[in-house]
Amino acid sequence: MPGQPRSATHRTAVPRASQRPLAPPHWSIVPIWVLLALIFNVGAAQADDKPDPRDVFGLGKKHTDDKHTDPRDVFGLGKKHTDEAPLDCSEGLVFGCALATDPLADPVPYALSTWLPASYLLGLPVADATHDAVAHYALGASRDEAGVFFAGANGLENRWTVDGAPADNPRTGGVDTRVPLVFLDGLFVTAGGFAARDRTSTGGTIDARLRRGTEHHELEVRAFGSWNTSGRHRPILPATYTVRNVIADGGPDGSASLVATGPLGSVFGGHAWYVAGIAPSLHAVDFTWTAARLVDRDHDMVPDGLPGVVDTEGTQIDKRRAWTWAVPAMARLGLDRGPHHLELTLIGTANNEVYSLANATLQAGAVDRTSFVGDAIATWRGTWHDTRARVQLAWHRSTRSDSAHDPAAANIPQVLTAYVPATLSEDPTLAALCADEVASDPYPGMTNCPVPSGWFASGGAGALVDSTADRPSITADVAHRFGVNVLRAGVTGEDTRLVTETHFTGGEQIRSLFPGHMSERRFIDAATACPSDPMLPCTYVDRSVLSFRTRYTAAYIEDTWAAASNISVDGGLRWELMWVGPALHFSNELAPRLGITWDPIGNGRSRVWTSMGRNFAMLPAGLGATILPGARIADDITSSFGKGRAIDTGLPLRVVPGVEPLAQDELTLGAEFALARAVSIKTWLQGRWLRRGLDTTVDGFDNPGRNGDIPATRDTGLFAFELATAPTAQLALRMGYLYGQTIGTWTGAFDPRQGAVLYAGSDYDVRPINALGPLPTDIGHRFFLEAERRGTLGSVNLAVTTRLTVGSGRPRNVLASTDLGIEYLIPRGSAGRNPLVTQANVRLAAKIRTFDLTLDVFNLFDRREPTNLDELYTIGPVSPIDGGSLEDLVFLKTSGGTAPTRRAGFSVPAAYQTPLSVTLGIHRAF
């Protein structure tokens, strides 16, 4: 995190406005009620001249046949009329409907689903957000550092799709194709209750549904400008020192979007249409590097200030602004001819980012990353009275290329040293500041700029990675009605290839533990053997090329039986195959799924349901880095002790024979009622139980627990409630509450402490004592309120919208770094919780003639509470207190019988909430 001391291998990512966290900082209850009072008392308009909310919020012209983009799709935001057409619940997506009345419709009747129209989302304070930044607005969803998560799973266990085509990251499983909200018709988010037809993993599914052509030619233009305040950064800890620190703050941002839709006339006897859009953005990040040397004014050969924060002098501050950009674009063509519907889509984003090292020269520490993520999708749908069919071909591509930010660092080796070199051609000022054993050294009895851990980087940019991931996929589904039964069947296949190419600038990386010691690191030719004798030749190559491949195939059969006019029973069986290279083959994953739905009110206006089912994990190609051969590396060492050669052959972790697929069972019970097109109430109970996990263990890659140790468990219970209503003509509300517990021993593909481990975390690499307890995805309590208040001031239509959230902090752990690895000193999650996490975002909107003006304020009260804490209590030979408590830590002893040294960084914040930012927007529809 910005401001945290870093080793030379830790880079700081540029914060992006399009990725601005929309989840939560702290507010006091008094300012919130002041805010609510402001919302509820905006000058009211008369009911008969109430402004269209689409005009107020710049959502474009409203069409009478555009029912899926009307804000009333979520809760009655549109103007009500006494002569409204009869409610059509055939697809179940219109506000006032709880259930699709057409048994051939796509929505699963018992799914824990939320439809979020883009028109509704764009009316909230979201600025120029992409769909991944608002997916957690759906009921049942929360958010962690990896993204949106559901019911105990983490942000890397979802399936992300674009119009049904897989668009998640091939390497990690996280979101890859980020779609601007202006490109969307809406988001269909499912938190659970999956049927056999659903392509899912152990989390949820998020389907970005793109805009379609319109009856007339239309053009929408938007522009945004943002200002960001400086963030709060990790403090300097007592008894710690880093030669050079770096912090990053968001600078000004700007973005624009242009979306055109319309007809193309008659083509092949059908109606053709088009959609085209582009949404470029420019983002600034302000880097500040600070370097200083230690002080020993009393010449006792001990840095002044110890054991507290050490004293430094000669502070060298460098500030630079880096600019990054992103260009999302979309092009769609469609043809509707009778029962046949053909859609061709190209969508993707090109962007660049800047990453920076701490503990490095500015030349060696910065890397540019240029990426492209895109999808080509061809979909045919057939719609007949008793039959629906779909065939979809898609290709997802993701490329990434690293390069030296400073051209001078592009063609020379990077030098990693455990000290600051006496000579630094690119930074002579720092070299002079840190010089030891020279006449000008003010403190000859002490190292001026030690490197306590990691490396100090100079010279070139070091290891640069280019990666290319391709995932072609094919899906075919058919549904046919036989009397009171609807039979569905389908097949799908995905073939993912991830190729990474790594090279060192200058052809090698040089490491040095002390002056006179040098280790030259290079890649070895995979086709030839490299002897360990340094006097014998070894064949080196400029690049290491690794290829990882996964295959996913599925087939299902599903039957929906109408037991009565308002009762349906849906059951099916899904077969899946999941392979990761030649090492891990799961070929017979059978997932039965069953649900029963009752519509007590009738006509799709209510549903009461229960469901059960089994899900298997979609394993990412990045898992291949653990279980498939890696890069072959040789270190040729020269020092005063002689020459040597160390070889890393890149051997993978052993896959234990008999390992079984990761499986999870789910049970749901819920109800939803839509009353008089004005009120919608939804609630459910959801339970999930992990049957088998996958992770690295002392035996290899296996299902933890097979060797007699504690198994991988993750049990979740969740209660969800949502109320959406428009109590007056000028006021609309949507509010929700979640309460959930997730208890277990296994975090999955992502751990907030370790990052994207991809089923290769450290928890099962040591004795699993105290591993059972609340997991990071134990959400506790969550509450959200979305409100809109409309009115007029003279001839100007005004509106205020807000989204307020509050939630429990993450469970805390107490860890120790021992000779065996990282261990839990007391039971997992038993050290309390992090501070309450909340956020207040507000939008002020005005329509002046043909222009819509918006002012979005994020983190209105500028609260900057910590979101993650350092959990490492001590380093040394200590043993866990089996079943202990926080109070028992005072009795903790080392193996030598002495009290351990508590780390100064324990419980110090590692990350903070995003500070106040303001975005001004303008919109015009033509």
What is 866-897 written as a DSSP string?
A: EEEE--EEEESSB---TT--GGGGGG--BTTS
Residue 131 · residue 705 · CB < 8 Å? no
pLDDT at position 211: 97
pLDDT at position 84: 60
Measured CA to CA, the distance from residue 768 to residue 707 in angstroms comes to 12
State the DSSP string of 6-44. --TT-EEEPP-GGG---S-----HHHHHHHHHHHHTSPP
CB neighbours of residue 733 within 10 Å: 17
Which of 174, 40, 32 minimizes the C-alpha distance to 799? 40
Q: Which secondary structure element, helix H or strand E, spans residue 636, and what is its range?
A: strand 633-639
pLDDT at position 738: 97
pLDDT at position 8: 34
Measured CA to CA, the distance from residue 731 to residue 737 in angstroms comes to 20
pLDDT at position 27: 37
Residue 240 tokens read as 């710690």
CB neighbours of residue 896 within 10 Å: 8
Which of 699, 704, 873 minimizes the C-alpha distance to 772? 704
Which of 182, 188, 256 minimizes the C-alpha distance to 17? 256
Instruction: Find the DSSP H helices in 594-728.
Output: 624-627
Q: Which secondary structure element, helix H or strand E, spans residue 187, and what is its range?
A: strand 184-190
| HSE-up (13 A, CA, CB side) for residue 924 | 7
Helix (H, G, I), strand (E, B) or coil at 854: strand
Residue 908 tokens read as 């110090």
User: Is the Cα dihedral 440, 445, 448, 454 positive or negative?
Assistant: positive
| HSE-up (13 A, CA, CB side) for residue 267 | 14
Could you tell me the pTM of the whole model?
0.89
Q: Which secondary structure element, helix H or strand E, spans residue 807, and what is its range?
A: strand 796-807
- List, in sequence order, every residue forming a beta bridge with 288; answer none if it has no partner: 247, 319
| HSE-up (13 A, CA, CB side) for residue 156 | 23
Measured CA to CA, the distance from residue 154 to residue 161 in angstroms comes to 17
Residue 609 tokens read as 């349901």
| HSE-up (13 A, CA, CB side) for residue 659 | 24
User: Is the Cα dihedral 73, 76, 77, 82 positive or negative?
Assistant: positive
Which DSSP state fits 623?
Answer: G
pLDDT at position 68: 37
**Rounded (10°) CA dihedral 870, 871, 874, 875:** -80
User: Is the Cα dihedral 703, 708, 709, 711 positive or negative?
Assistant: positive
State the DSSP string of 380-419. EEEE-SSEEEEEEEEEEEEEEEEEESSGGGSSS-EEEESS
Measured CA to CA, the distance from residue 256 to residue 571 in angstroms comes to 47
Residue 704 · residue 712 · CB < 8 Å? yes
- List, in sequence order, every residue forming a beta bridge with 822; answer none if it has no partner: 817
- List, in sequence order, every residue forming a beta bridge with 497; answer none if it has no partner: 470, 549
Q: Which residues fall within 8 angstroms of residue 427, CB to CB, at 6 or more apart? A: 361, 362, 363, 458
Which DSSP state fits 833?
Answer: B
Measured CA to CA, the distance from residue 299 to residue 308 in angstroms comes to 18
pLDDT at position 768: 80
Residue 159 tokens read as 């399936």
Measured CA to CA, the distance from residue 855 to residue 210 in angstroms comes to 26
pLDDT at position 766: 83
| pLDDT averaged per 10 residues, the chain (length 926) | 34 36 38 49 42 37 38 40 69 89 94 95 95 96 94 96 97 96 97 97 97 95 94 88 93 96 94 97 95 93 92 92 96 96 98 93 95 98 96 98 96 96 94 91 92 94 97 98 96 97 96 95 92 93 95 98 95 97 95 97 95 97 95 94 93 95 97 90 97 94 89 96 89 95 96 94 87 96 95 90 95 93 94 92 94 95 90 94 93 92 91 92 95
